[in-house]
Structures are given as structure tokens and as C-alpha cells.
Amino acid sequence: MWYFGKLLVCSFMVCLFPLLGVAAAELEIPSVKVQKAPEVDGAGQDAVWAKVKPVTVKDSASGTNILIRSVYTEDQVFFLVQFPDSAENFLHKPWVWNTAEKKYESGLHREDTFVFKWNMMDHDVNLSNFSDDDYRADVWYWKANRTNPAGYADDKSQVLAAQPIKKSTELTSTSGKARHLGRYSDAGKAAYKELKTLTEYQGDLVDRYPASTPEGSRADVHAKGTWKGGFRTVEYARALNTGHDDDLQFEPASGKDYLFGVSIFSLYGRPHIENSPNFYGRGRISEPLRLKFQ
């Protein structure tokens, strides 16, 4: 999925990004203040984006280069992310009709995703799922099938701890220590529903997760993604201050920077498997990034 010819990649860089990206090693993602907010439609064509230099970040699992931009207004912060994606994966575990058995089975399809993971601690931590640090993180999951049709990212949190915690998965840190990863949804309703069972034939392929209107803190992050010509574009928008305890709050006037990381693939802590068809659920957090309001 992740092999691209040199010509295609070069064309992407030349055509879409006349401004050279900042090297990822610099770590800082500047957020530039603007008067007019960009439209969150997944197109990334608003004039404001052309005025912001993209930062190049490498996806840790696939090695794919991601371009990130950010702007903010008086009350919202926005992100534009773009990266090569050889196929548009817009279905997730759909119901597939088995003609011989006369029943539906869960399909092997896995949706495209993009994840922001924000440090919620009052000190720096390693945001890896395999870190030795205890932490709580604010996580924004854009999902091509489950959240994109409604125009949102799934607002969640992750907690990594040395001791067992509620609904957690046991992992082993890179240094060999036992760790416990909890993944939790923010308060409210999701941007999708699940068709858990189908008893009657409704077509050879049925979407398992029809769109729904999210509510509460789970509806804090607006996001829309598009795919065209082998490239994925996703735009995000969130209030600087949501008023919810399960979110990181941004204060541009404070002069603080905000530690985070990104991943093209979901951060479930699953092991990498040789010859696996994709990296779904096996994502790894990027190098540390810092959002700096300008």
C-alpha cells in the first residue's frame, strides 16, 4: 500500500506545496493566527493554508511523510494534514454476504485513519504506547468510515499506567516493564452507530457503521477527509477551550507549547506482524511534536 514511484511523490511535493516544509527534526508545529477560519471540508484549498509552511513528519509505522499545517482564530484551532495513500479505504468491517452459507460475515476491510495524540500531563512524557512513563492523553481519531461521513473525529483519551486500570490492555514497554493501556471514549454519543447483526439479505456488501450525529464531549473535534489521486487530505477543527474535563485546553496567550504526536494508523498497541496486510491497529506515535501558537 505504501510504495510510490519517485515521480508521483515529487509531483505531489511540487504541485501541492510550493513552500518547502520545515524539517521534522525541528519538532515545532507553528500555529498562525488568522482572521478568517478555513472551511473544514477536507479539500485544503482555503487561501489561508497557502500562507502557512507545512512541517514534514514521518509516520513511525510506515515511514510515510506527513505534511502538517496549523492556524487558529480567537476561539478555534485548525489542522491540515496531507500524506500519500495508495488506496481509498472507506469501509470498516462491513457485512459481506456469504452466498454459500446464506448469511453475513464480517469483512476484512479496514478504514483509513489519522490520529492526533496530545499530552495532558503538566510535564513532558513519552507518548508511545510502549513508554515507561505514566500519562493521560487526549486523542483525536479521524476514521474514514466511522466518523468522516458525519464530519467529525472521535474524541477519546488514553491512559498508560504501571498498575492495572479499568478496561485496559497489558503491554510491555521497550525496556521490558509491564504496562497497562486504557482507551476510553469521551462523554457523549459517537458519530456512528453499529449494525451488530443482519438477519435478512440487504445486498452483497452492507456498511456496518452508518453515520449518526455525535453529542457531548465526543463531538468536540470536527474533521473531514478526502482522497484523490493517491493522496489523503484531512482537516481538523476544535474549540481552544471545550469546557470539558476530558479534553486538553489550549491557551494561546499563555506562551505555552503543547506536546503531541501523530499516526496514520490507529494506536491500539498491537504488535507488528510480518506479512500483515496492513498496519491497522499497529500504529506507532511519531517523534515528539510541539504546537506553538504564534
* Nearest-angstrom CA–CA distance, 188 and 191: 10
| Burial category of 128 from C-beta neighbours within 10 Å (exposed 0-12, middle 13-18, buried 19 and up) | buried
Question: The cell 495513500 sits on which residue?
Answer: 85
Please report the domains of the chain, with CATH numbers, ordered by start residue.
6-293 (2.60.40.1190)
CB 82 within 8 A of CB 66: yes
SS3 category, 47: helix
Query: DSSP string covering 164-208, please?
Result: --TTEEEEE-TTS-EEEEEEEEPSEE-SB-------S---SEE-S
Strand partners, 293: 31
Helices (H), the chain: 6-16
The whole-number pLDDT of residue 275 equals: 59
Strand partners, 104: 97
Q: Is the dihedral of CA 258, 264, 269, 275 positive or negative?
A: negative
* Nearest-angstrom CA–CA distance, 30 and 102: 55
**Which pairing describes strands 28-33 and 65-72: parallel, antiparallel, or unpaired?**
parallel
Question: The cell 493501556 sits on which residue?
Answer: 181
The whole-number pLDDT of residue 215 equals: 98
Q: Which of 209, 217, 215, 216 is nearest to 192 (CA)?
A: 209
The whole-number pLDDT of residue 62 equals: 85
The whole-number pLDDT of residue 80 equals: 99
Contacts (Cβ under 8 Å, ≥6 apart) of 1: 85, 86, 87, 278
Cα 57 to chain centroid, rounded: 14
User: pLDDT digit of tens for each residue in the chain (294 aa)?
Assistant: 333 333 334 334 434 433 333 333 448 999 999 999 999 999 999 999 998 999 999 998 888 999 999 999 999 999 999 999 989 999 999 999 999 999 999 999 999 999 999 999 999 999 999 999 999 999 999 999 999 999 999 999 999 999 999 999 999 999 999 999 999 999 999 999 999 989 899 999 999 999 999 999 999 999 999 999 999 999 999 999 999 999 999 999 999 999 999 999 866 655 655 555 566 666 689 999 999 999
Q: What are phi and psi of 47, to 5 degrees?
A: -60, -30
Cα separation values, 155 from 30, 162, 242, 280, Å: 23, 24, 12, 19
Using a cut of 0.85, tell me whether the model's pTM lies above it. yes
